[in-house]
Structure 1
C-alpha cells in the first residue's frame, strides 16, 4: 500500500514558526539554532521507512519576508523498493520572501538497489532573498548497485528562471550515465547552490575545486557548485569547503 503525505513549515521574522505540520514519515521538530545564520531551525526526522515504491511525499517551506530559517535532517533519506512497481515521488517546494534567508541543508538521499524515485525541488525566491541549498545523492548503499533516481532542481528568482537542471542515474537511465563523460564510476553526487544579492557587485569566477568539482557562476547573483566523490564522506567535505569559502 502506497503512502501520500505533505509536511509544511512557515517561518516568520523573530524566529516564529506559525506553521509546523508533520505528516506520515515526515516528522518536523523545532531544534536549537547553533549560530547567527538563522532565527529558527527545523530538523526533519524520519518517522518510518520512506519513500517506498508508489509513495507520494511532499515537503513545503515558506519563509516570509524578513525571516531566517535553517532546515536540516536527523538522518539520510533512503529510497527503497515497495510492493508496487510504480516509482516513488518526493516533491520539495520552497518559497523565500523579500529580505528573507533559507538554509536548506538536508542529509544525503540514498538510492537503494531496486528502488525508483523521482525527486523534484522547486524554489521561488524574491529579488532580495538569500538561499543556501545543498543536495547530495548517494547511488547505492555500501557494496550494492543503485536504484533508478531522477532529480530535478528548478529555481526562479523575482519571477525569472535562475536554474533548471535534471539528473538521472541507475538502470532506468540512459546508456552512459556511469561512463567517463558523466560519473566516471563515482557513487556520490552533490550540488551546492548559493544565491545572494550581494554577489551582484562581486560575481564569482568559474573555477575547479579539485579534480571532480567545479564552481559555476549563474546568470544572476548566484553560484552552483557541482561535485563527484567516491563516497558520502568525501562529498560532504568538498561541499563544506566550498560553502566556507563562499561565505567566509
Structure 2
C-alpha cells in the first residue's frame, strides 16, 4: 500500500506476441490506477492500444510506469487518448514517469503518445528506455510543451536511452524550467521556443544505408545514430507546429 502523502504508484503492462495467424495477440494488458489501457481497432497484423488517463496527473510525488514487451513477429501501435499534464501536487518533490520498451527481433513498435505539458509549479522527471534486437523496428515520438497558454513552465527533465542488441546508441537528457541548468532557453538549446520534440526511427536497413544528416524545414534536424537508427530533433513555438514538423520529418524518412 502506498504510504499517505507519498503520491500515487501505478504501472501499466503490455505484452504483444505473434498469434500464429498473421496477427498480434495481447496476452498481457494490465491497467493500474490512473493508467488505463484500451485495445482499439487495428489494421492487418498490427494491433493498436490506447493509453487513457483515468485521473489527472502525474502530480508531485507520483510515480507512473508504462512497460511494453513486443515479442518476435508482433506489431503494436501504442498511443494515448489525450495530452499528459504534469501538475503540482500537495506532496512535495518531483513526480516520475518511466517508459520501458522492449522489442524482440522481427517485432515492431510505434510509440506515439500525445504531448506532455509541463504546467507551472510542476516538477516531473521522464525516463524512456528502449531495448531492441538486431532486426527490430521502432517509431517513437516525444513531444514536450513548456507551460499552458500564458503560463510559465514547471521543471521538466527527460532522458531517452536506446540500446540495440545490448549496445547503447543513444543516451541524452534535457532539463528545462525553474532550477534547470542555465542556458536551457538560450540560442544553443530552445532559443525561446516552448515546444520541443524528438522522433526516433529504427530500421534494420539503416545499418547498411544510414540516413544523411540534414536540416528538415524550419526548426528540425535529422542525424544518423550508430547502428540502424535515426534521430530527429525539433523545436517550435507551439504544440501544433511541432506536430506538423515531426509529421513532415517522418514522411521524409519514409520516402
Fold in common (TM above 0.5) = yes
Deviation at 1:188, TM superposition (A): 0.2
Which aligned pairs between 1:103-182 and structure 2 lie closer than 5 A?
103-182=110-189
Counterpart secondary structure, 1:32: strand
**Partners of 2:189 and 2:134 in 1: how far apart?**
33
For the pair 1:26 / 2:31, whether they are aligned, the reply is no
For the pair 1:12 / 2:5, whether they are aligned, the reply is no
Q: What TM-score do you get using the length of structure 1 for normalisation?
A: 0.97
Deviation at 1:54, TM superposition (A): 0.2
Deviation at 1:88, TM superposition (A): 0.1
Aligned to 1:226: 233
Q: What TM-score do you get using the length of structure 2 for normalisation?
A: 0.95
1:107-155, Cα deviation, whole Å (9 max, x unpaired): 0000000000001000010111010000000000011000000000001
Count of aligned positions: 246
**Partners of 2:134 and 2:210 in 1: how far apart?**
16
Aligned to 2:252: 245
**Partners of 2:173 and 2:9 in 1: how far apart?**
24
**Partners of 1:11 and 1:71 in 2: how far apart?**
11
Deviation at 1:200, TM superposition (A): 2.0
Deviation at 1:201, TM superposition (A): 2.4
**Partners of 1:7 and 1:198 in 2: how far apart?**
32
Aligned to 2:85: 78
Q: Which runs of 5+ in 1 are unaligned?
A: none
Give the root-mean-square deviation of aligned CA atoms.
0.9
1:33-77, Cα deviation, whole Å (9 max, x unpaired): 2x45x5211000010001000001100000001100000010000
Deviation at 1:84, TM superposition (A): 1.5
Deviation at 1:191, TM superposition (A): 0.2
Deviation at 1:211, TM superposition (A): 3.1
